[in-house]
Structure formats: C-alpha cells, structure tokens
C-alpha cells in the first residue's frame, strides 16, 4: 500500500488494475496539470461519492486544457504570419485579422504597371 493510501480512500484504487492509481498513469504518461487532473476526475468520479462535483471539475479542467491548446496553436500560427512579415494578428478562434495584399511577381504585372 502506498504512503498516501488509506482504507477510507478506496476511490483511488477502485476500478483500476491492482496496485495502480490515477497518479501512476499521470506520472508515467507525462500528463500536465490540466490533462492530468481531467484524467484523475474521469477515472474516479464513479467511486468517490460526489459524481456531479467531480464531473464539473473534469469539465473545468478540460476547458482549461482546450484553452491552453488553442493558445499554443494561435501562438504557432502567429509566429508563421510574423515570419512572413505580415502585420496581421491571429485571434483565439484561429481567424486571421487584417488585410492581405498580394503583390504579383514583377514579371506578372500587366503592361504599364510597376512594382511598389
């Protein structure tokens, strides 16, 4: 039995393979704060005695994880836009904000036009 286990906390082990707890999975699989807590509440909500509260916590941690992933994707997309030298911003919905001006190559300009 692990140091933090007590007889009155069998929700840590119930429904899990013998000797395994949610924390073991979280640590060995390298989960972060939000996904680790979401997994913990998902694995334990049936056994802890407060299923609705635990499912609400699961939802809250999942929403935080979604926000974290969204922000990382927006940051990556913004870095790509910035690398192109465009003065545009990507919002949290992944939408590009700003006006895009496409300049044709010099040899593609109509007769009488010059590149800026």
Residue 51 clears pLDDT 90, i.e. is over it: yes
Residue 41 lies in a domain: yes
pTM above 0.75, yes or no: no
d(CA 6, CA 99): 62
Q: Which of 19, 18, 36, 17 has its CA nearest to residue 27?
A: 36
d(CA 111, CA 116): 15
Q: Which of 5, 8, 7, 46 has its CA nearest to residue 23?
A: 5
Residue 15 lies in a domain: yes
pLDDT at site 1: 42
Residue 3 lies in a domain: no
- Centre a 10 Å sphere on the Cβ of residue 105 and count the other Cβ atoms it contains: 7
Residue 83 lies in a domain: yes
Q: Give the tens place of pLDDT for each residue, 80-116.
A: 888 888 777 777 676 666 655 555 455 554 555 454 4
Average pLDDT of the residues of the chain: 78
Q: Range of 20's domain?
A: 8-108
Number of folded domains that form the chain: 1
Residue 88 lies in a domain: yes
């Amino acid at each position: 039995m692990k140091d933090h286990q007590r007889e009155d906390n069998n929700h840590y082990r119930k429904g899990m393979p013998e000797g395994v707890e949610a924390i073991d999975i979280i640590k060995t699989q390298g989960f972060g704060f939000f996904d680790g807590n979401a997994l913990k509440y998902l694995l334990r909500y049936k056994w802890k005695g407060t299923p609705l509260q635990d499912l609400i916590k699961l939802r809250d941690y999942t929403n935080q994880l979604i926000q974290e992933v969204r922000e990382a994707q927006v940051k990556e997309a913004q870095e790509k836009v910035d690398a192109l030298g465009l003065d545009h911003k990507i919002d949290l919905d992944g939408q590009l904000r700003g006006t895009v001006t496409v300049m044709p190559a010099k040899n593609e300009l109509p007769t009488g036009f010059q590149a800026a």
